[in-house]
A and B are shown apart, each in its own frame.
Chain A
Amino acid sequence: DTAVSQTPKYLVTQMGNDKSIKCEQNLGHDTMYWYKQDSKKFLKIMFSYNNKELIINETVPNRFSPKSPDKAHLNLHINSLELGDSAVYFCASSLYRSSYEQYFGPGTRLTVT
C-alpha cells in the first residue's frame, strides 16, 4: 500500500498555463506539506497544512496555491507557469506538525517549456 501518492509522475507544459498536482496520504496523518527540489537537489518547503491552518514559506510566489478538500489530500495549483517553476515537487505528511518525521511521496517532475 502506497503511503503518500502523487499524480502525475511527470508533467510537461508550456509557459503561461495553469496546472495542478494531486497528493493523497493514507497514513491518517494530521499535517501535509509541499516541497520543491531544484536542479541542485535542494529541498525547500513551500507549504505546511494542518487542520485547515496554512503556513506559507514567504518566498513562494502567490501563483502557487495549496488546496485541501479533506485531511488526506493536499493538491498544488500553479497559475501562469514560468520556466523557473521547472523542478521536482514532493508532497509529504507527518503525524503532527512538530518534531515528527515526514513521509514523502514519489515526486512530480514538472517541466515548463
Chain B
Amino acid sequence: EDQVTQSPEALRLQEGESSSLNCSYTVSGLRGLFWYRQDPGKGPEFLFTLYSAGEEKEKERLKATLTKKESFLHITAPKPEDSATYLCAVQGAGNMLTFGGGTRLMVKP
C-alpha cells in the first residue's frame, strides 16, 4: 500500500524566513510525485510534478526536489500570500493518487 507522510504538520515563518517542507513516501513503482497548494475553502491547486530521483522544479519562491524516499518543497523568502496548506501526493503502479496529510504554512508579515 502506498503511503505518504508530510512534516511538519504546521509551520510558522516570518516573512523572508526560508524553510523546507518534507514529504516521505513509500510506493510501488513511482509514476510521479505531485505537490499541490490548498487555500481554505478551495480545491487543491497543482504546483509541480516530479518523476525521478534528482529532479528539481521551481516556480517563483518554491522549489521542489525528489529523492528515492522523499521530496522537499523549499520556500525561499516567503511572503504572507504563500500561507496555505501544501499537499504532497504519489502516483504508483495502480495509477491512483495517495495524498499526505499536508503541511499548514503560516507566514507572518
Residues of chain A whose beta carbon lies under 8 Å from any beta carbon of chain B = 4, 40-45, 48, 55, 57, 90, 92, 97-107
Contacts and interface: CB of A to CB of B under 8 A. Distances in A.
A42 B101 contact: yes
Contact of A102 (B31, B42, B46, B98): B46
Interface in B24-58: 31-32, 34, 36, 41-46, 49, 51
B75 interface: no
Q: Main SS of chain B's interface residues?
A: strand
Interface stretch (B15-23, B61-69, B76-84, B89-97): B89-97
**Centre residue among B32, B45, B99, B101 by max chain A CB count within 10 A:** B99
11 contacts: A40-B101, A41-B85, A41-B102, A42-B101, A44-B99, A48-B95, A99-B49, A101-B34, A101-B49, A106-B42, A107-B41
Contacts of A42: 99, 101
A4 B97 CA distance: 18
A43 to B, nearest CB: 4
